[in-house]
Amino acid sequence: MRKTLSVVAAILVNENEEILCALRSPRMSIPNRWEFPGGKVQEGETPAEAIEREINEELKCSIEAKDIFLTSHHDYDTFSIDLTAITCKLVEGFPTAHEHSKLIWLKRENLDSLKWAPADVATVERLVKESM
């Protein structure tokens, strides 16, 4: 039986209505693919607590989790992901890449121009659809 990971992803929107996109580094699993930054939910954490912690650890800034945007499931070859995408507000600092190769801000309608990690595709599709 494959392992299922509970994962959160931040939909962080700036003042120009652009969304933060993070490029996975070559040393990460699913390398050189774009994702919404986030990570695994630890035991006893709510999704909101997990995303606030993960963004603080990964991007060295503080956010506030707002609303669950989408929950989705994706099966990879050796594991599965239950992904909770959460809209978030930047509270303090500015996101900087520490684990990722690169961070960029994109308008919703341009998100599908990137090569996304498969688990993030459902979130991208809904974001793009809502921009039309």
Give 83-132 pLDDT, tens digit per residue.
Answer: 999 999 999 999 999 999 999 999 999 999 999 999 999 999 999 998 75
Q: Quick one: pLDDT band at residue 29, thresholds 50, 70, 90? A: confident
Count CA atoms closer than 13 A to 42's CA, side-chain side.
6
The pLDDT, as a whole number, for residue 132 is 59
What type of residue is 98? H
| Domains of the chain: residue spans and CATH | 3-131 (3.90.79.10)
pTM of the model: 0.94
pLDDT > 90: what percent of the chain? Answer: 93
Instruction: For tokens 């392992």, name the residue.
Output: 3
Token reading at 125: 């599709």
